[in-house]
Structure 1
Amino acid sequence: MSATSRFHEVANDALVKISNNLWPEAKLALVIYTPGEPGKDIVLKDQGIVLDEVISTLRRGGLSIDGDNAYKRDLLDATVGAMAMGVQNNNPPPTGHWGQRFWDIGRAERALTEELVEVLKGVQKRCEGMGYVGVDGQYLKVVQAAIAKANH
């Protein structure tokens, strides 16, 4: 038997003994890691454990949202992606998905941009209708540049 297999066996036996002495609804998890070597990670957990509850417990124990880890990077990438999809009115999340909130934020931001563009187009038409374009057409150029920027 390899040293790793023997460790798993001993750790599992120890966790069973500890678990037998916990209150009935309590769950137990053991995490062993070697910094920079994820291949050596070991996660042992009770049956029926809810990993979201483990994260919440670690948060109460000092886990910070300010730290750097792959889970948070992935979550934030997904959040930014949901907002970007909302801006593009593309690929909405399934009903009830947590990303809907961020997709909706993207949609709302796009709606504000579209509203701004319409206002600027109205300003442009009024300026043109009144023959007011500013010195060397500068005023009109500023409005046109603002419309172009808002559309990106």
Structure 2
Amino acid sequence: MSALQRFHQAANDTLVKLSEHCLPGAKLALVIYTTGEPERDIVLEDQGLDRNEVVSALRRRGLSIDGDNAYKRDLCDSIVGALASGAQNTNPPPTDHWGQRFWNIGREERSSTEELLKAFIKLAEIARECEQIASNYSGTIDGIFEHGGDDHEDPSCAIFHKLHYAMFDARTAIAKATR
């Protein structure tokens, strides 16, 4: 029998002896780890052990969601992936899977964004038309800028100036959102 097998046998025998002294229904688990060497991890579990209850017990004793570990990184990556897949309306999780909630959030956010984008495009079209009308009565943008811009004494010139520069941002935002 190897040293590792002897250790497992001794640890298991000890867990059996300890379990005889536990409250009825209590479960035991032994975890031995070597930092940076996961291949050397040893986990011994009582029969019928619920691993979720083990995590809950550790959380009650101070395990925090704030620390950095691979499980939390993987979980967060899964959530981000579900959000992104929902936004793209692709790769939905199986029915009743916990990721469905995040997939639905991504889908709803995308839908809201699409509605806002449609409304913004319509508003930008109206603003462009208004800019053109104001331009017909205002002369050149350089002349308006030289004579007060937004504060020009002629309201149509001031409106043209505001719309002219607002359209730069609108065109950029629409181009970015529709790529």
Identity fraction in percent: 57
**1:55-66 equivalence runs, <5 A:** 55-66=55-66
Q: Which amino acid aligns with 1:149?
A: K
**1:77-88 equivalence runs, <5 A:** 77-88=77-88
1:99 paired residue number: 99
Kept after mapping to 2: 8 A contact 1:113/1:151: no
* Structure 1: 4+ residue segments shifted above 4 A: 132-137
2:145 paired residue number: none
Please give the per-residue CA displacement for 1:94-135, whole angstroms capped at 9, x wherever unaligned: 111111111111112212211221111111221233325755
2:33 paired residue number: 33
Flag structure 1 segments of 5+ consecutive residues without an equivalent: none
1:114 paired residue number: 114
CA distance in 1, matches of 2:65, 2:127: 50
Flag structure 2 segments of 5+ consecutive residues without an equivalent: 136-159
Please give the per-residue CA displacement for 1:68-103, whole angstroms capped at 9, x wherever unaligned: 111111111101100000110111111111111111
DSSP-derived class of the 1:95 partner: coil
**1:121-132 equivalence runs, <5 A:** 121-130=121-130, 131=132
* Residues 50/143 of structure 1: CA separation in 2 closer, same or farther (3 Å cut): same
CA distance in 1, matches of 2:128, 2:36: 64
How many residue pairs are counted as aligned between the two chains?
152
Give the greater-gyration-radius structure (CA): 2
CA distance in 2, matches of 1:104, 1:94: 12
TM-score, length of structure 1 as denominator length: 0.91
TM-score, length of structure 2 as denominator length: 0.78
Q: Which amino acid aligns with 1:37?
A: E
